[in-house]
Amino acid sequence: MDYEFNQDSYGEITINFSLGHEAIGYWLYEEIKDDLVKIALLKSIANEKMKQHSLEYYQFNGRQYHLRLNSDEVIIQLKSFANPDISLEQGMHYDDNDKEACCGTTDFMTMLEHYSLFLSEGKI
């Protein structure tokens, strides 16, 4: 999973993830933004799941995305993809890559650490 965090000339965070992992970037931008408290909470929960080798999922329900994590994997899924009864405004659609992505919990933890460092180093 490749990713890149930047700040554009207007001070907005830009997040880019490799093909197949775009939903993680959208989740990060939509649900986390620059909230270091949420990042610390998710890192703590993921770390605990990994220590316990727990296969039971922790679920974080955001406004647009669900995140589920256990000791092995993280799954991020667009709510309207998980619940087809939720409809988008007329003319809007999501690309398949926006809907769902998975990665290993260790990779997810590394990404959160990099994003946390990006935010705390004053790049925003």
Q: Residue 117's CB: how many other CB atoms inside 10 A?
A: 11
| pLDDT average, residue stretch 52-64 | 94
Which CA distances in Å does 23 have to 13, 45, 56, 94, 108? 16, 20, 22, 10, 13
Which CA distances in Å does 105 have to 14, 41, 80, 112? 23, 14, 24, 10
Give residue-wise pLDDT tens across range 1-10. Answer: 999 999 888 8
Q: Which region among 61-65, 90-94, 111-115, 118-122 has the lowest average model confidence (pLDDT)?
A: 90-94
How far is it, in rounded angstroms, from Cα 76 to Cα 68?
6
Give residue-wise pLDDT tens across range 70-111. Answer: 999 999 999 875 444 444 455 444 455 578 999 999 999 999
Q: How far is CA 63 from the centre of its chain?
A: 12
Domain locations in the chain as residue ranges? 18-88+95-120
Give residue-wise pLDDT tens across range 21-41. Answer: 999 999 999 999 999 999 999
* Helices 105-120 & 36-52 angle (0-180, nearest 10): 150
| pLDDT average, residue stretch 111-115 | 97
Query: Starting from the edge strand earliest in sequence, which strands make up the sheet with 100-104, in order?
Result: 58-61, 65-69, 73-78, 100-104
pTM of the shown model: 0.82
